Chains A and B, each alone.
Chain A
Amino acid sequence: MDIDIKLLRNTLVVRLKGELDLAVVDRLRSDIDRRLDENEVKNLIFNMEKVSFVDSSGLGLILGRYKRVSSQGGRMSIVGAKPQVEKVLRFSGINKLVSMYDYEQDVINLQGR
């Protein structure tokens, strides 16, 4: 699992690549939370374009970051989920909490309004 974290104004963009399971969630959680601690972050975007697999360990990671960001009045979005990943996200009901978009730019355009 590769992770690339960028701050665009007050939005933290997390780009993930690989399989999101038990083997990687602890490291991702601490990497993301550190960036949330260090910066004035309001919104969070999870770019899952290059994620080929997610299970409930990954869902727990997403849900935890959603709780954190939304409790501080921010929005969390997921972009680019492939069909097999989107199926798991929808099945879990996370799509009711977190908005899903095709591209990062879709979210950034909406937030810019």
Chain B
Amino acid sequence: MAGSIMTVKNYCKFEFQSTNENVSFARACVGAFATQLGCTLEEIDEIKLVVSEAVSNCIIHAYENRETEIITVMVSLMHDKTLEIIIEDYGKGIEDLEKVLEPAYSSDPSHMGMGFTFMKSFMDEMQVISKPGDGTSVRLTRSFLARDKEAYA
């Protein structure tokens, strides 16, 4: 909605160590918080998938599997039923963002290179800000308002 100001109804922020085990912790937390939007289980699964992808990227790429670094996740539920998720790392950053955002790009042949594709596909908007040496911030938003309108129609 052009020109509308999103106001926050509820917000949470958490940070955790960059261990492989914390990928499921992070997606479960965001999934649980997002249930307040009244979305379907299928939608919660999609939200959990994108969080899993973003957090896995932080561990594998930003921190190159170092387990003692920090990942921060911020989740906002807006009054207009928009979900905003921000996932931040303080790792090595992305040199060539354009290339990394190409579909099926992977720096490692054993991976699918689907992470950003999933994020773009299952969310309405994806914004990636990265500075080599400083870290990366991924902002994902999705509105659940349309579905609500359909339900009342």
Contacts and interface: CB of A to CB of B under 8 A. Distances in A.
Nearest to B41: A84
A21 interface: yes
A21 B118 CA distance: 15
B48 A57 contact: no
B114 A59 contact: yes
A22 interface: yes
B56 interface: yes
B68 interface: no
B93 interface: no
B29 interface: no
Interface size class of B (residues with CB under 8 A): 20 to 34
A2 interface: no
A55 B21 contact: no
Contact of A22 (B20, B42, B114): B20
Q: Interface of chain B, helix or strand or loop or mixed?
A: helix
A92 B114 contact: yes
Nearest to A88: B49
Interface string B93-132: 0000000000000000011111100100100000000000
A104 interface: no
B141 interface: no
A111 to B, nearest CB: 27
Interface string A81-108: 0011000100110000000000000000
A49 interface: no
Contacts, number: 54
Interface size class of A (residues with CB under 8 A): 10 to 19
Interface string A48-87: 0000010111011001100000000000000000011000
Contacts of A64: 110
A24 to B, nearest CB: 8
A55 B45 contact: no
Contact of A92 (B52, B110, B112): B112
B20 A23 contact: yes
Contacts of B121: 91
B69 interface: no
Most interface-central of A22, A59, A63, A88 (chain B CB within 10 A): A22
7 contacts: A21-B20, A22-B59, A57-B111, A60-B111, A84-B45, A88-B118, A92-B112
Interface of A: 19, 21-23, 53, 55-57, 59-60, 63-64, 83-84, 88, 91-92
Return the 3 tightest CB-CB contacts between A and B, nearest first: A23-B20, A55-B52, A56-B114
